[in-house]
Amino acid sequence: MLAVYVLASVGLVLAVKQLAYRRSHRISRHGRSLRTPPGTLPVVGNGLKFLLLDRQTLFDWFSEVHNDVFGFETYEISVPTLPPGIVISDPEVLEFVMKKEGSEGFGKGPFFEERSWHLFGHGIINASGQLWKMQRKAGNKFFAGSHLQVLVDEVFPVFWQRAKEELDEAAETGKVVDMEELYLEFTTRVMGRVAFGMDLSNSHPFSAAFDYASDLTGLRFQNPLWKVNYYLFGHKFRKAVSIVKSFGNEIVRLAVCRRDLENPSEKSNPQTNDDESGGDLVNMLLDAVPEHHVVADSAINFLSAGRDTTANSMTWMLHLLLEQPSLTNYITDELPPSGDFHTYASLSTALTPKSHAVFLETLRLYPPVPFELKQTLNSAGMTLPDGTVLPHESVIVWCPYAYGRSKKIWGEDAYEFNPERWIERTGDEAEKLKVRSAAEYPVFNGGARSCLGKRMAEVMGVWVLSESLREWEFEEVEKVGRRRSRNSLTLPMEGGLKVRVRKRNMPAL
Ligand code: HEM
């Protein structure tokens, strides 16, 4: 009872403070206030919607409001305790925001940094300025080298072996397999190798702690009272974060020991990692960033950026292909004729345009980063191309999930899964992958902070789906209507993807 009273009082005080703040930081367009979405209430604004709706329902709401009410018009949302905010849906406006990244324009800002600080710390996802630049440079170096080719040609086949055994066993025994878990195990192992140079399994206590901390961090962006939650009931969250941090620090300590043993003479000047040597990211970060605790945060950030996002994409891809089995040949037609694994070379978009089309189309409908925000960092404020005037620290929200379902961008069939929309046929019937701008298709963000792992995600998604569909057929155990996502930082499938498996060309189940 006391807790309820404290919560209510704190909420009220913050709401009053917020009203005063809003008066002095008014967002306008051509001298007038912006429209607000249907259902906006006096004082609490859209706060209840953000607090009470689960994330999936909120994403659907963003899509409906865009398609049915505002179109490309920028509108205002208000949530007590939060700075004034707008929602943008116009690709031209988003392009402007992406291009103006930095202290003179837009950036993550205190709104994002505060909420993700406990989990992401000084890592690349949360950092700005020099600290961000150093990590970005190390990441660029890693992905520009031969690492991706080594991953595809050498690491994927080894790590896929466990999945293959599990699927073979399931085909023989009739055991049900959760493909979301199976894919997550694969991506955890790949990202463990990329980020830490180690074999990391999903059953490691780090993974459970990391999942818990990520889910709660995701909810902080919706809950205006997250701080109260954290201080009153945050024990389990604090414990999870401490497990994640200790793990990161231990990995860095071991990496430093390894380097010292291998190069004892270079202890004080550890510029030892050759970018073509096949080393892992943690070593490249150690070369680029002097403080070891920042390297630990950074490695965790890279793992976080790549692990769940890629597993999400594979799970939704398989689900959508099971819904429309006639489209499976988009992937199987492009398998290497020799019966071998795809190589990095055979996974070029020129050689596998249709498989890439399935990947891109899946992410259009189910973007693993479904919700994005920035803040106006320029102390003088900013004016958007549509004339919206934003005071300092205004929050700009866009929803890649709603962009993907925009009828104005994708046409009347925007809600349908149709990989064909990505295929361009030239005169001689050759197929080519269509390119869409980051502002129309913001699944991997754009501008200076675009996703560093986009190519890795593409090759991983296509490789894994090719291997899945080459050998097995799948049948969802329960057809539960339209699948939904579960609350998280990314877009995992609620309930997982449980399937029965059989070897291709075997008698029916
Ligand atoms: C389907 C899979 C993926 C999707 C949809 C995706 C999407 C995104 C998005 C939207 C952002 C911007 C987030 C923000 O700043 O608000 C981002 C950033 C980032 N992504 Fe990915 N990502 C994927 C896979 C990967 C992989 C495999 C890696 C490899 C490590 C990776 C590394 C990163 C990094 C390091 C950043 C931060 C970039 C920066 O702030 O400078 N991502 N990603």
pLDDT band at 480 (very low <50, low <70, confident <90, very high): confident
Whole-number pLDDT of residue 401:
98
260 compared with 361, residue with greater pLDDT: 361
Q: Pick the most confident of 211-215, 284-288, 417-421, 428-432.
A: 417-421
Whole-number pLDDT of residue 13:
59
Mutational pocket test of ligand 1: of 148, 395, 451, 463, the residue with most ligand atoms within 8 Å of the beta carbon = 451
Whole-number pLDDT of residue 430:
83
- The Cα–Cα gap between 256 and 340 comes to 38
Could you tell me if residue 52 is left (phi over 0), alpha (psi between -120 and 50 degrees) or otherwise beta? alpha
Is 257 a known ligand-binding residue?
A: no
Query: Span 131-145, mean pLDDT?
Result: 91
Structure tokens at 209: 């702690």
Tell me if 305 CB under 6 Å of ligand 1: yes
**Which domains, ranges and CATH numbers included, belong to the chain?**
2-503 (1.10.630.10)
Residue-averaged pLDDT of the chain: 90
Query: Does the CA dihedral 305-252-197-260 come out positive or negative?
Result: positive
The CA 454 to ligand 1 mean position distance, Å, reads 7
Q: Is residue 48 a contact partner of residue 266, using CB atoms and an 8 Å limit?
A: no
Whole-number pLDDT of residue 509:
46
pLDDT at 294 over 90: yes
Run of H or E including 281: helix 281-288
The CA 306 to ligand 1 mean position distance, Å, reads 7
Backbone φ and ψ for 316, nearest 5 degrees, come out as: -70, -35
Tell me which residue has its CA closest to atom 6 in ligand 1: 444
Could you tell me if residue 39 is left (phi over 0), alpha (psi between -120 and 50 degrees) or otherwise beta? left
Query: Span 323-348, mean pLDDT?
Result: 92
Whole-number pLDDT of residue 4:
53
Q: Which is nearest to 387 in space by CA: 90, 158, 174, 37? A: 90
Could you tell me where the beta strands, DSSP code E, fall in 37-180?
Answer: 75-77, 85-87, 106-107, 177-178
- The Cα–Cα gap between 274 and 257 comes to 18
pLDDT band at 9 (very low <50, low <70, confident <90, very high): low
Query: Span 417-446, mean pLDDT?
Result: 93
pLDDT at 24 over 70: no
Residues whose CB falls within 8 Å of the CB of residue 403, separated by 6 or more in sequence, listed in order = 89, 91, 94, 409, 440, 441, 442
Structure tokens at 207: 């993974």
pLDDT tens for 341-351 read 999 999 999 99
pLDDT tens for 193-215 read 888 888 889 899 999 999 999 98
Q: Which ligand 1 atom sits nearest the alpha carbon of residue 194?
A: 30
Beta bridge partners of 415: none
- The Cα–Cα gap between 456 and 310 comes to 9
Whole-number pLDDT of residue 45:
86
Tell me if 369 CB under 6 Å of ligand 1: yes
pLDDT at 21 over 80: no
Tell me if 188 CB under 6 Å of ligand 1: no
Lowest mean pLDDT of 112-116, 168-172, 426-430, 459-463, name the range. 426-430
Tell me if 368 CB under 6 Å of ligand 1: yes
Tell me which residue has its CA closest to atom 18 in ligand 1: 451
203 compared with 273, residue with greater pLDDT: 203
pLDDT at 278 over 50: no
The CA 323 to ligand 1 mean position distance, Å, reads 28
Backbone φ and ψ for 79, nearest 5 degrees, come out as: -130, 125
Q: Is residue 460 a contact partner of residue 187, using CB atoms and an 8 Å limit?
A: yes
pLDDT at 276 over 60: no
pLDDT band at 219 (very low <50, low <70, confident <90, very high): confident
Whole-number pLDDT of residue 506:
52
For the stretch 172-189, what's the b/e string if a residue is b when 16 or more beta carbons lie within 10 angstroms of its beta carbon?
eeeeebbbbbbbbbbbbb
Lowest mean pLDDT of 120-124, 425-429, 481-485, name the range. 425-429
Lowest mean pLDDT of 54-68, 215-229, 433-447, name the range. 215-229
Q: Which ligand 1 atom sits nearest the alpha carbon of residue 301?
A: 35
In the sheet where 75-77 sits, what is the strand order? Answer: 75-77, 85-87, 395-398, 372-376, 106-107
Query: Span 375-384, mean pLDDT?
Result: 97
Lowest mean pLDDT of 248-257, 349-358, 371-380, name the range. 248-257
State what percent of residues in the chain have pLDDT above 70: 91
Q: Pick the most confident of 171-175, 206-210, 263-267, 288-292.
A: 171-175
Q: Which ligand 1 atom sits nearest the alpha carbon of residue 135?
A: 41
- The Cα–Cα gap between 341 and 298 comes to 32
Whole-number pLDDT of residue 265:
60
Tell me which residue has its CA closest to atom 17 in ligand 1: 451
Tell me if 306 CB under 6 Å of ligand 1: yes
pTM over 0.75: yes
Query: Span 248-255, mean pLDDT?
Result: 90
Whole-number pLDDT of residue 49:
83
